[in-house]
Amino acid sequence: MSSLFDVTIIGAGPVGLYTAFYSGLRALKTKVIDAEPDVGGKIRYFYPDKNIHDVGGIAEITGAELVQNFKMQAETFEPEFVLGKRVTSLIKQQDEIFLLKTEDGELHYSKTVIIACGSGTYEVNPLIAENAALHHAKTHYHLRDLEQFRGKKVVVSGGGDAAIDAAFTLLPIAKTVDLIYRGENFKGYEKRASDLLTSKIQVHLQHEITALNEGSELETVTVCAKASGEESTLSCEALFISHGVEVDFSFTKNWGLHTADWGIQVNPFMQTNLPGVYACGDAAAYSRKIRIISAGLHEGAIAVNSAKQYLDPDAANEAMVSTHHDHFTN
Ligand SMILES: Cc1cc2nc3c(=O)[nH]c(=O)nc-3n(C[C@H](O)[C@H](O)[C@H](O)COP(=O)(O)OP(=O)(O)OC[C@H]3O[C@@H](n4cnc5c(N)ncnc54)[C@H](O)[C@@H]3O)c2cc1C
């Protein structure tokens, strides 16, 4: 049997990372598992380059910087990280130990489980167009490395806030930005959409990309006008696709958890209906729940304290504050 952990946290988003840190403060042997190849959850996935202003005590920070800080803090007590592995099953064995299985069949054993899985796992909707597979390396779904777009003719496809945001983010970096959307009007905030009209972004409403050029270098895309079916060619050296994501939260039901309001039902101790299993962050649901980073951090600490007392009923209600904690004072 692979080694047994006191706590296994499913999800290495901001809340999972802070929960791992707090679990260390309580001297619990901790493992963190995430389906994504890197930590950071929604911040890394959706808005690493955005400025965040509403995390307590931090007036302004980019998503990427905040993730870096969470990661550094989480590493304080050296939890084990298992990345790029989606947890697909969670069962309590007869010996009361939880057995977690990841997609690839790997087994993980834990005395308690804290679910910090956010809204679940994500899968981007891919571009469906002729020759799309030929140019997958030049077709981007995330703006994690803006340098890839520097000086290039970029075509953005999509009509939501994320597509419009991407077009504006790319404008000062790219040589040109064309924004293609098959709808009549953009779905994003009206103000943002109207800003497009006065910007240098070339907007093509009621058009869609039907093909990428043949050959190894991406040079053009074919776009088709929806009304007339007329095709035209646009210069394109890099593509950014924002066609939405498929979110999967269904696994939580398969694990026997009670769900409601886009989350797992928890009581004030962050306990789920399964003894020994807790939830926090965006994954947790209760009355007046706020789905922001700061709120999730407090829930993570409560979940750890509950797990600690599940393992040791005589344990204190909470960890020693960091200013007086042995780890930092000795
Ligand atoms: C566009 C956007 C902008 C936002 N702006 C702000 C803001 O300015 N301020 C703010 O406070 N909040 C903001 N939020 C909300 C904030 O991002 C979330 O509240 C926060 O990320 C929740 O953290 P979390 O760790 O609970 O979940 P997440 O960040 O969703 O992380 C969950 C992690 O769990 C993993 N996971 C899920 N299922 C599994 C599984 N079965 N197995 C393994 N791993 C799994 C996922 O891969 C993911 O990494 C924003 C959200 C979005 C989408």
Separation of 271 CA from ligand 1 center, angstroms? 20
Domain finish residue from 217, 243, 269: 243
Average pLDDT on 15-37 reads 97
**Of 162, 112, 147, 115, residue with least CA distance to 308:** 112
Shared domain for 115 and 264, answered yes or no, is yes
Where do we find the tokens 């990372």? 17
Probe residue for ligand 1, chosen from 34, 38, 42 as the CB with the greatest number of ligand atoms within 8 Å? 42
Domain finish residue from 189, 217, 243: 243
Higher pLDDT, 180 or 193: 180
Any binding-site annotation on 87?
yes
Average pLDDT on 288-293 reads 96
At 28, is the pLDDT very low, low, confident or very high (cuts 50, 70, 90)? very high
Based on the structure, what is the number of domains in the chain? 2
Is the distance from CB of 303 to CB of 18 less than 8 angstroms?
no
Separation of 123 CA from ligand 1 center, angstroms? 14
Higher pLDDT, 56 or 193: 56
Q: Give 255's DSSP letter.
A: T
Strand pairing partners for 30? Answer: 7
Average pLDDT on 284-301 reads 97
- Helix, strand, coil % in the chain, rounded to nearest 5: 30, 30, 40
Shared domain for 255 and 234, answered yes or no, is no
DSSP notation for 108-175: EEEEEEEE--TT-EEEEPPP--BTGGGGGGGEES--S-GGGGTT-EEEEE--SHHHHHHHHHHTTTSS
Is the distance from CB of 42 to CB of 282 less than 8 angstroms?
yes
Is the distance from CB of 259 to CB of 251 less than 8 angstroms?
no
Question: Which residues form the domain of 224?
Answer: 126-243
Shared domain for 138 and 115, answered yes or no, is no
Any binding-site annotation on 282?
yes
Question: Nearest residue CA, atom 30 of ligand 1?
Answer: 118
Shared domain for 17 and 106, answered yes or no, is yes
Average pLDDT on 317-325 reads 93
Q: Give 52's DSSP letter.
A: E
Shared domain for 229 and 262, answered yes or no, is no
Q: What does the pLDDT read at residue 24?
A: 98
Shared domain for 116 and 250, answered yes or no, is yes
* Structural tokens at position 46: 């959706």
Any binding-site annotation on 34?
yes
Shared domain for 97 and 138, answered yes or no, is no
Q: What does the pLDDT read at residue 97?
A: 98
User: By three-state DSSP, how is residue 289 classified?
Assistant: coil
Shared domain for 238 and 130, answered yes or no, is yes
At 80, is the pLDDT very low, low, confident or very high (cuts 50, 70, 90)? very high
Domain finish residue from 209, 243, 277: 243
* Binding pocket residue ranges, ligand 1, CB within 6 Å: 10-16, 33-36, 41-43, 46-47, 52, 54-55, 86-87, 116-121, 251, 281-283, 291-294, 296
The model's pLDDT over 185-242, given as tens digits with 9 standing for 90+, comes to 887 667 777 888 899 999 999 999 999 999 999 999 999 999 999 999 999 999 999 9
Question: Nearest residue CA, atom 19 of ligand 1?
Answer: 292
The model's pLDDT over 98-145, given as tens digits with 9 standing for 90+, comes to 999 999 999 999 999 999 999 999 889 999 999 999 999 999 998 878
User: By three-state DSSP, how is residue 240 classified?
Assistant: strand
At 1, is the pLDDT very low, low, confident or very high (cuts 50, 70, 90)? low
What's the CATH code of the domain at 176?
3.50.50.60
* Structural tokens at position 201: 């972004």
Q: CA-to-CA distance for 17 and 213, rounded, in angstroms?
A: 43
* Structural tokens at position 254: 């398969």
Is the distance from CB of 264 to CB of 256 less than 8 angstroms?
no
Q: What does the pLDDT read at residue 89?
A: 97
Separation of 174 CA from ligand 1 center, angstroms? 29
Shared domain for 228 and 256, answered yes or no, is no
Task: Answer yes or no: is pLDDT of 317 > 80.
Answer: yes
* Structural tokens at position 31: 């493992």
User: By three-state DSSP, how is residue 277 classified?
Assistant: strand
Q: Average model confidence (pLDDT) for the chain?
A: 95
Shared domain for 145 and 224, answered yes or no, is yes
User: By three-state DSSP, how is residue 59 classified?
Assistant: coil
At 330, is the pLDDT very low, low, confident or very high (cuts 50, 70, 90)? confident
Average pLDDT on 151-179 reads 95
Q: CA-to-CA distance for 232 and 235, rounded, in angstroms?
A: 10
Q: Tell me the CB-side half-sphere exposure of residue 326, using CA atoms within 13 A.
A: 6
Shared domain for 112 and 258, answered yes or no, is yes
Separation of 13 CA from ligand 1 center, angstroms? 6
**The amino acid at 299:** E
- Looking at 26-93, list the stretches that DSSP marks H as alpha helix, in order from N- to C-terminal side: 41-46, 63-74
Probe residue for ligand 1, chosen from 85, 119, 293 as the CB with the greatest number of ligand atoms within 8 Å? 293
> What is the position in ligand 1's atom list of the atom closest to the CA of 45?
49
* Structural tokens at position 21: 């840190």
Separation of 224 CA from ligand 1 center, angstroms? 36
Task: Answer yes or no: is pLDDT of 16 > 80.
Answer: yes
Shared domain for 281 and 309, answered yes or no, is yes
